[in-house]
Copies of this chain bind each other. A is one copy, B any other.
Amino acid sequence: MFGEILQGIVDGTSGALGAILMGYDGIAIDQHFKVCEGVDLSLIAVEYSNVLKEIRRTAEILGTGAMEEVSVRTERLMVIIRTLGSEYFIALAMERDGNFGKGRYLLVREAPRLREALA
């Protein structure tokens, strides 16, 4: 179920390297990775789960409403994260010249299905 949705997002986004469904505790529920050398997507997701908790806390302090989406671009990688309620998130990693807009669109489109399946 989850795997199929994750694969659909990865296959539908040019430049995508993988997608992972994860809890804020850093424990993965499901994932779909393409084979890519030198990039440990599980480790990336675990590390970013800590950053997300920090951003969520910041958004709460600032009173700007719940965090919905975070994206980080580094020299070699782009990561888009979409929150799925208060316990889970989905992260999509792609090459830095991957199709950001398409990846983001697919995360928005699939989020309700994932939330429903998680409930």
Contacts and interface: CB of A to CB of B under 8 A. Distances in A.
B58 A68 contact: no
Contacts of A43: 62
Contacts of A34: none
A74 interface: yes
Interface of A, secondary structure class, is mixed
Interface of A: 39-40, 43-44, 47-48, 50-51, 54-55, 58-59, 61-62, 64-77, 101
Given A64-B77, A70-B70, 18 more contacts: A40-B62, A44-B62, A47-B62, A48-B58, A50-B58, A51-B51, A55-B72, A59-B72, A64-B74, A64-B76, A65-B76, A66-B75, A67-B73, A69-B71, A69-B73, A70-B72, A70-B73, A101-B101
